[in-house]
Structures are given as structure tokens and as C-alpha cells.
Chains A and B, each alone.
Chain A
Amino acid sequence: MRQVYVAITLIVTLLVAFDGYVRVDVVTKAAAELKNWGIILSAFALGLAALGLFTLHLGRISRRTPEWPYSAALLFGLVWFAGAGTFIGTTSPGYVFYYRNLLQPIGNAVFSLLMFYIVTAAFRSFTINKWQSATILITAAFIMLGSVPVGEVIWKGIPEISGWILRVPNTAGQRGIIIGSAIGGVAAALRTALGLERMRG
């Protein structure tokens, strides 16, 4: 049975990969069809996520775990959004009201936690007792001040130095990691396609 899975994986990978390298009508059409199947699979994965959430939180409500009221609130939101989106549309006033006045502010609030965590991370990590952390501190100072108008007010050289750091050493390092990660990703994909990767689940 494993050989069947590996054969399917290999054929699909070859078709989609070759579409990027050759111009052959049958390959292009097959790849386009497979990409559309991929979209359908992704949509089903979302549905699976919703089902997973439903069963998990329904279980918590039925067992009356300490957090069961939150699970009830979550399921209410899930059902409301799914129902409203399906039956009255995602541009309907009811859906949009709930989205803009509840979901959007909550998302903004959780993201803004990042700012507080960045403050404490910087406080903890940006020290000058080692040359590496001192380098990070000085570089970060230039980049942060170069990204905001007050940097130009403090000194006109700050945006220029910040720009140089971003354009030269930063881009060099980023390119190296991008190339390495890309090659690693290709290798991982090839291992999966050739059936050399361990199967799980």
C-alpha cells in the first residue's frame, strides 16, 4: 500500500514541478487541474479544523471543565460566523458588524501584545556586556530610529546609516539564508516525492 502512496506523490510532484520547466500542453493542463484540486483540499482542511474545534470544545462543555464558558463562547462565535456567512453572506450587515466590532478589535489587541513583549525582550536581551549583544543593540537602535520620523529630527545621518544596514549587511545575510532554506525545502520535497521521507499519521 505504501508503494501506491509513494507512486501517487511522485506522479503529482513530477507533473506540477515539470509545469514550471517545460511548455507542454498536456502537462500544463494537468498541473492546472492539480492546483485546483489543491485549493479544494485546502478548503476541506479548513472544514476539518472547524470540525476539530467543534468536537474539542463540545467535549469541554459536556465535561464541565474549568474553561467551559469560554468554549461555549467560542462555539457560539463559530456557529454565528459560519451561519451568517453561509446564509446571509459575508458582506451582510450582521456579519460585518460582528467582524468589525468584535473580531477585528480582538485581533488588534492580541497583536498589540507583541509591542509589550518586544519591550521586555529588548530589555532582557540588549545588553552591552558582550560584543555580540552590543552590536545587536547598536544596529537595532539605528534601524528603529531610521524607521520613524524622530530619527531624522535627532540626526540626519540616522536614516542613511539605517538604510545602508538594511541594504548591505542585512540583505547579504538574508540572501544566504533564503538560498539555504530554498535548497533545504527542495531537498525535503524531493525526499517526500521519492518516498524517502518517513510516513506519519
Chain B
Amino acid sequence: MVIKERILSLGLVAFMVAAMLYGLWRVKNGARAPAIRKIPALEALSEMIGRATEMGRPVHFTAGTGRLVDQNAPIMLASLDVLGKSAELCARYGSRLLVTASDPVYHAMCVDAVKTSFASSGDAEGFRSEDVRFLSDTQFAYAAGAIGLIEREKVAANVVVGSYGAEGLLLAEAGANAGAVQLAGTINMNILPFFVVACDYTLLGEEIYAAGAYLSGDGPRVSMLAAQDYAKVAVILAIVLGVVTFSVGSRAITNILDTFGK
């Protein structure tokens, strides 16, 4: 009944679910949430938006051209946490926030996230729906619109966190030309190197998933983050064990992985 080649994968997922629920249970019963190491890029968000406020120039946020109905959904949802925090900081400092979206459903969620953040920061009047824009669902049409907006409005802070293709570099360079400080992050491996080179701060891969827990400091969310780390430790142990045993001539671990872990 269970596919033999997927047993290890199923085990890992079950382990993650158990770790998440256990972490959640512990925090809800009064235990302290684990500490997260500093993520410099997220620490810099406040400074970036403060700088934009001092310069009297707007902040721009984009989550790229991913869709909520495909495999990019987790990263798009995770980017909303960064948007929420950016909006909260903009509301607090009195800075203008421009948001561009490439997915109409995501656009609706952005409107909600920004509106909620402004309201919770005590500046409900400061929210402008015309500043949260749906540009286009086509990759380069979206990029052309966003580039134009970034350069016309001369944004001072450019937050580029989400799912990107080639348009990621276009957005990063447009921000650089406008003189903006840039925070970028994506799980798309083909664009990540460009972000590292072209932007001031970069979130690498799953640091974006950690952003929600990190920025909110919410105990339950942090404890769920720890479950990811436990899964990673398990994978690292399997890799190390496999390399060591293979190097000494034993195929035991490799055979187990080949049989149960395809």
C-alpha cells in the first residue's frame, strides 16, 4: 500500500508534523520558544525604511511574478509577512509604501496586509489603496511597469522578496539606479546570485520562510520554525553517514536510501 521508495520521505514529513505540533504544545504550556540567530537582512529593514523616511522618498515592495495557485504559493505567502512588517514600519515612521503585484489574488492579499498593518500601527488614514497596484501577470510586462514606477518615484528603499525569474535583476538594477537601499530574497536559485551581487541585503532561500516568525517574535511560530531545523539536522546526519560509510567502502546507507528514499 505504501510506496516503498517514499517511506523515508513520508517519515521525514511525519517527523516534521510531530515536531511542529510538539513545539506548539510546549510553547502553549508556558515553555520559552527557541532563540533564532540574527538575520542581518531582516534587522536592516527598520533602518532602510527609516532612511527612506528621512529622505522623504517612498518605499517599494514587490513579491515578483509567482502565483498562489502553483508551487510558488509558500514563498508568496511567506513574503506577505515581510510586507506586513514593512507596512507597519512605514505607518509608524510616516513613510509612503508602494506595492506592486503580478497576481490578482495576491494583490487582494497585499491590500489586506497593508491595510491591517497601517490600522494596527494607529495610522488607518495613512493607507492609500492606489499605492498597492496590480500591474500585469506577464513577467516582462510586470517588470517594465515596476521598473518605471521605481525610477519615476525615486524609491529610497526597495524590498524585493518573493518568487522571481529574470525580471528579478531588472528590478534590482532599477532600484540601484534610483539610489535605493535594497533587501532581496528568493528561493529561485537562478536569480539568487544576482541578488547577492546587486542588492545590499539578501535573504537566502528559507530565511524568507523564517521571516514571519523572526519579525513577529511570535512564540508558536518560532517553535514551528525549530521543527524545520530538526528536519534539516536529520537530513544532514543522513548525508554525513552516507558519505562516511561510502568512503570506507560500505554501501549500506546508500542502498537504504536507494531502496526507501527515492
Query: In the complex, which of the residues A38, A49, A177, A188 contacts B205, with contact meaning CB atoms closer than 8 Å?
Result: A177
Q: Is the CB of B134 within 8 A of A187?
A: no
Interface centre among A51, A118, A188 (most CB of B within 10 A): A188
Tell me the count of chain A residues lying within 8 A, CB to CB, of chain B.
52
A184 touches B169 (CB 8 A): no
Q: Chain B, interface size: which category?
A: 35 or more
* B67 in contact with A190 (CB, 8 Å): no
Known: A48-B104, A187-B16. A114 touches B80 (CB 8 A): no
Q: Which residues of B contact A125 (CB under 8 A)?
A: 197-198
Interface residues in A23-52 (C-beta closer than 8 Å to B): 23-24, 38, 41-42, 45-46, 48-49, 51-52
Shortest Cβ-Cβ A-B pairs, 7 listed: A184-B206, A188-B74, A184-B209, A117-B173, A49-B137, A110-B140, A52-B104
One digit per residue, 1 when the CB lies within 8 angstroms of any chain A CB and 0 when it does not, for chain B 120-140 equals 000000000000011011001
Give me the interface of B with A, judged by CB distance under 8 Å: 1-3, 6, 9-10, 13, 16-17, 20-21, 24, 67-71, 73-75, 77-78, 80, 103-105, 107-109, 112-113, 133-134, 136-137, 140-141, 143-144, 166, 169-170, 172-173, 176-177, 187, 189, 192, 194, 197-198, 204-206, 208-210, 220, 224-225, 227-228, 231-232, 235
Contact of B104 among A45, A113, A177, A185 (CB under 8 A): A45
Given A24-B1, A125-B197, A114–B74 Cβ distance below 8 Å? Answer: no
| C-alpha gap A177/B190 in the complex (Å) | 12
| A185 and B74 contact, CB distance less than 8 A | yes
In the complex, the number of residue pairs spanning A and B with C-beta atoms less than 8 Å apart equals: 153
B134: contacting residue among A38, A56, A185, CB under 8 A: A56
Contact pick for B166, options A114, A126, A180, A191, CB 8 Å = A114
Contact of B78 (CB < 8 Å), options: A49, A120, A183, A188: A188
A2 at the interface (CB under 8 A from B): no
A21 B2 Cβ-Cβ under 8 A: yes
Asked if A11 is at the interface (CB within 8 A of a chain B CB), the reply is no
A124 and B176 contacting across the interface, CB-CB below 8 Å: yes
State whether A190 and B20 are in contact (beta carbons under 8 Å apart), knowing that A179-B235, A180-B205 are contacts in the complex. Answer: yes
| Distance in Å: Cβ of B174 to nearest Cβ of chain A | 8
| Secondary structure of the B contact surface, majority rule | helix
Question: B232 contacts which chain A residues (CB < 8 A)?
Answer: 179-180, 183
Q: How far is the CA of A190 from the CA of B209 in the complex (A)?
A: 12
- Complex CA gap A174/B24 in Å reads 31
Instruction: Determine whether the beta carbon of A20 is less than 8 Å from that of B6.
Output: yes
Residues of the A chain whose Cβ atoms lie less than 8 Å from the Cβ of B20: 187, 190-191, 194, 196
Give the complex CA separation of A51 and B10 in angstroms. Answer: 41
22 A-B residue contacts at CB 8 Å?
A17-B13, A21-B3, A22-B1, A24-B1, A45-B67, A49-B134, A49-B136, A52-B104, A53-B134, A56-B133, A122-B197, A136-B197, A179-B232, A180-B205, A183-B206, A183-B228, A184-B206, A184-B228, A185-B187, A191-B224, A196-B220, A196-B224
B42 to chain A, nearest CB (A): 15
Give the most central of B17, B21, B143, B173: most A CB within 10 Å.
B173
Contacts of A192 in B (CB 8 A): 74, 77
- Nearest Cβ distance between residue A129 and chain B, in whole angstroms? 15
Additional A-B contacts beyond A110-B144, A125-B198, A180-B232 (7; CB < 8 A): A118-B169, A124-B198, A183-B231, A184-B228, A189-B73, A191-B224, A192-B77
